[in-house]
Amino acid sequence: QFCLLGFSLGGLLAACVSARVQHVASMVMIAPTTVDNMCRFAASDARSNEPITMGAHTMHPEFFNDIRKLDPVADVAVHPRPTLLIQGEGDMAVPPSVSQAYIDAMNRRNVPLDLIRMPEANHGFSRPVWQNQLIEGVTSWLTSRTER
């Protein structure tokens, strides 16, 4: 069984891939960002044609022109499949309101969705307790999917 797993920008990409690949059995999205959220950071740091740094990533401004052509929120429900979404409630980079767009899109299409909200957890799940919760949540969910 093939499962897509993506964190932050990787969650956005997993949503896009899920619409284009039908043989994916399930998907895990951890603090998935959206195009609007990504472009919000770009707009606040745009300087002519200079690279834009977001966290650990440095991106060319053209990246944001390209990403605006994607619609991961719509893509996430094209081929409904069991999905786990994990969101830190203290995430300032991808606030819970951002991942809510994915939740709403999946709920509209009756996508089987499990949601883990982690109170106070930040974007990097930087505390050991959050890391352990994240690992346990993902492994338990994946194990339950493969035992079926």
Contact 2, 56 (CB under 8 A): no
SS3 120: coil
Structure tokens at 88: 């830190």
Give the SS3 label for residue 56: coil
**Model confidence at 57, in pLDDT bands (50, 70, 90)?**
confident
pTM, entire model: 0.92
Name the band, by pLDDT with cuts 50, 70 and 90, for residue 45.
low
123, 94 contact by CB (below 8 A): yes
Does the structure show a pLDDT above 70 at 95?
yes
